[in-house]
Amino acid sequence: MSNLLRRTIAPLAAALMLASLQAGAADKAPTTIADALKVAATQHRPVLVDFQAVWCYSCYYMASHVLNGPDWQAAQRKVIVVESDADSPEAQTWMKKLKTSFLPTYVVLDEHGNELGRITAEQPREKFYPQLDKILATGNTLDGLKNKAGTGSVDAVAAVLDAYQARGEGDEGFAWFGTLPASLQQTAHKDARVALALDQLTLARAKASGDKPAIAASAQKVLAQDIGCQRPYVLDNLLEATSKLPPAPRKATLQAQRKPLDRYVDTQVLVSQPTCADQRSAVLASADLDEALGDQVAASAVLDRAITLTRQRLGGNLASDRNLADNLRVYLLRAKRTAELDDYQRKLIAAYPEDYVYAYRYGRSLVDAGKPSDALPYLAQAADKAYGANRLAVAQQRIKALKALHRDDEARKVAADVLETNGPWFPKQAAALKAELQA
């Protein structure tokens, strides 16, 4: 090859390599919400923020069963996707700003950071993508929906109320609804979606005020309607609100929930192809309801069914479905099958060695069982992979174990190191760690 040809090809190759690197950098998914919004501003595309956490069992389900395949690839061509870890400082800031407390939550933002809509909790594929497509098709911020509602759109009224309900803002939702013309309010009240949203806002308002009788009354009203996969969550509100009642009136209040919940579990949850994705909440709510009604046999039976079915679906391969694998851990814990649980937790650590969570959970259970020496190796393993808020949680358990062994100097060293590493973030968790050190 001549020197001239080399001189011609070399700059061309360098230019092509640079272009390739720039294209690769452009295609690389943003790692922060701030970066995603910068990309959105140049591409004029919305941002889909996936609020998740390594300990979130519902996030496991979504990752394994929903956020993949052709549907997900198509969605990624429409939006800029950014995964935001709830244990990180940035996620904590945005979750507070967006009034997000439920994981997983998927929030669609416009290029300016304004919310266009959100999807919460586990959703099967056939429900998640139509919801996302609807949000992307309308492209309305909350203010835009309010303006549309002002023109008389009952659908927009329902969408606004749903947005307030998703944030738990009962007072704000009713205050806005009260600004609508009386004629529109009357028309909207006749719409089933609006009626349910208003009942849910009543429940949200009662929860915010801590009014137990009001929570119980509004939860029963919501539960009397066709609320699909939300049933376990609303039932949890009713169970908690009535927990201080004497047994007889509590049973009278709760008895009406048994048949609809049993039907829900039998037809939509503990089946080969569940309709509702969050099987764990349904199983635990069913066991809690049975126990509240004094039927321990029924509570044990639903847990046994869930354990058997989950084992069958896993087929011994814990890495095949992390959501199911983690559900089984919780069912064993709830059923108090301690020996099985201990063996199973060690298997989970082996199956998912890439993160802190199972080593931490097992170490914590050993601390609680009065076995601090056994706990320390697992907590040390977890500490190597912990970060953000969970770094403080792991350190707190290590301190508890070290103090139980009278190794106070080591406990103080663990506390000093993790507080220095973590800096000013997560003050509540840092305060809990310091309290553990002084206890």
Residue 100 sits in a domain of what CATH number?
A: 3.40.30.10
Domain count of the chain?
3
Residues 331 and 276 in one domain: yes
- The span from the CA of 322 to the CA of 64, in Å, is 8
Sheet with 47-52, side-by-side order of all strands: 80-85, 47-52, 105-109, 115-120
Residue ranges of the chain with per-residue pLDDT less than 50: 1-26
Residues 53 and 77 in one domain: yes
pLDDT at 167: 85
Closest CA to 99 of 166, 171, 170, 198: 166
Last residue of a domain, one of 89, 105, 139: 139
Contact 118, 131 (CB under 8 A): no
pLDDT at 28: 64
198 lies in some domain: no
368 lies in some domain: yes
211 lies in some domain: no
- The span from the CA of 126 to the CA of 196, in Å, is 22
- Token pair listed for 341: 């649980």
Residues 378 and 410 in one domain: yes
Residues 300 and 376 in one domain: no
195 lies in some domain: no
- The span from the CA of 108 to the CA of 114, in Å, is 8
Structural domain boundaries, residue 253: 244-344
User: Beta strand pairing status for 105-109 and 47-52?
Assistant: antiparallel
Place of tokens 């704000």: 172
19 lies in some domain: no
Residues 379 and 324 in one domain: no
224 lies in some domain: no
- Token pair listed for 93: 């800031």
- Token pair listed for 379: 């907590």
Q: What is the maximum alpha-carbon separation in the chain?
A: 97
Last residue of a domain, one of 111, 139, 167: 139
Contact 307, 331 (CB under 8 A): yes
CA 361 to the chain's CA centroid: 18
pTM for this prediction = 0.83
Residues 41 and 82 in one domain: yes
In a 10 Å sphere around its CB, with 0-12 CB exposed, 13-18 middle and 19+ buried, how is residue 323 labelled? buried
pLDDT at 270: 94
Residues 88 and 125 in one domain: yes
CA distances from 78 to 5, 104, 141, 310, 422 (A): 43, 20, 17, 35, 36
pLDDT at 143: 85
Contact 160, 178 (CB under 8 A): no
Q: Look at residue 375 and give its three-state secondary structure.
A: helix
pLDDT at 324: 94
Last residue of a domain, one of 291, 317, 344: 344
Contact 334, 282 (CB under 8 A): no
Residues 297 and 367 in one domain: no
Residues 314 and 270 in one domain: yes
pLDDT at 8: 32
391 lies in some domain: yes
Phi/psi of residue 295, each to 5°? Answer: -110, 80
Residues 321 and 390 in one domain: no
pLDDT at 166: 86
Contact 35, 111 (CB under 8 A): no
Cis before 249 (ω within 30) = no
Residues 324 and 375 in one domain: no
pLDDT at 144: 86
Residues 36 and 132 in one domain: yes
